[in-house]
Amino acid sequence: MNKKSKKSRSLVLYTLVVIVLFVALFAINQATNKKDNVNQTTAEAPSTASQPVMGKEDAKVSIVEFGDYKCPSCKAWGEQVWPLLKRDYIDSGKAKFSYTNVLFHGEESKLGALAGEAIFKSNPEDFWTFHKALFDEQPEVNHDGLWITEGKLLEVAKNSIPAMDLEQFQQSLKSNEIQGSVDLDQELVRQFNIKQTPTIMINNIVIANPFDYAAITAAIEQEMK
């Protein structure tokens, strides 16, 4: 074999190796994507004890949102997906809906969670009004900037729940009891290994893409059988 053909042969070999590597990487990537789109299941559904629950208490299907008032996807989910769920399943008594706090954005997440828990304790029937009002206040741009402050929470509480005792509300933000409610939610976050918000669970099914309404309805219909 002459020097030239040896060289071209190693070039062919090199090209082949590169092609094989690319194909392998593509296959791995496809497999990973596929896995991301499959709903996972857990041993049991998250407990809704001591949580705000909307809808028929003994409904066969329990929908739990793990959310964070600082999270822009949670705001978007509440505006785009939640109204459909409410219309199709919660209002008709087929499913109940509950919200659990996740604190992925530090002190502001915690302050928002404390406020929700304080209202749930003092004015349980007004929880969902405050919950929506607080998400409405999340800025469309620069949601990472500071916006959940005690002043903002008082303002939202005052505007959304006129009968609210604001002094009591302010005190409960610092109370051990309300801190205990936030801690309980963190136990659930750990138990269910929540890594992203919003995470939507239909009984013990973790929805891979919370914005895929078809996947959510398929899981609900399956659990209603």
- Judged by CB under 5 A, the stretch of 35-43, 69-77, 179-187, 198-206 that binds Ca ion is 179-187
State the minimum distance, in angstroms, from the CB of residue 102 to Ca ion. 10
State the minimum distance, in angstroms, from the CB of residue 48 to Ca ion. 9
Q: Which is nearer to Ca ion, 185 or 223 (CB)?
A: 185
Q: Which is nearer to Ca ion, 39 or 120 (CB)?
A: 120
- Judged by CB under 5 A, the stretch of 132-140, 177-185, 189-197, 199-207 that binds Ca ion is 177-185
**Alpha helix (H) ranges present in the chain?**
3-36, 72-80, 82-85, 107-122, 127-137, 150-160, 166-172, 176-191, 213-224
Q: Which is nearer to Ca ion, 108 or 185 (CB)?
A: 185
> Positive or negative CA dihedral for 162, 168, 171, 172?
negative
Chain residues 180-219 in contact with Ca ion, contact rule CB under 5 A: 185
Residue 65 touching Ca ion (CB under 5 A) = no
Q: How far is it, in rounded angstroms, from Cα 139 to Cα 137?
A: 6
* CA-based nearest residue to 80, from 202, 194, 224, 200: 200
- From the DSSP assignment, how many helices (H) and strands (E) are in the chain? 9, 6
* CA-based nearest residue to 153, from 176, 181, 133: 133
Residue number of the CB closest to Ca ion reads 185
Chain residues 109-168 in contact with Ca ion, contact rule CB under 5 A: none
State the minimum distance, in angstroms, from the CB of residue 160 to Ca ion. 18
Q: Which is nearer to Ca ion, 51 or 138 (CB)?
A: 51
Return the H-helix or E-strand segment holding 28. helix 3-36
Q: How far is it, in rounded angstroms, from Cα 76 to Cα 140?
A: 10
Chain residues 42-61 in contact with Ca ion, contact rule CB under 5 A: 51
List the Cα angle 80/83/84 in 5-degree steps.
90
Q: How far is it, in rounded angstroms, from Cα 188 to Cα 179?
A: 15
Q: How many residues bind Ca ion (CB under 5 A)?
A: 2
State the minimum distance, in angstroms, from the CB of residue 179 to Ca ion. 12
Q: Which is nearer to Ca ion, 73 or 179 (CB)?
A: 179
Give the interface with Ca ion as residue ranges (CB under 5 A): 51, 185
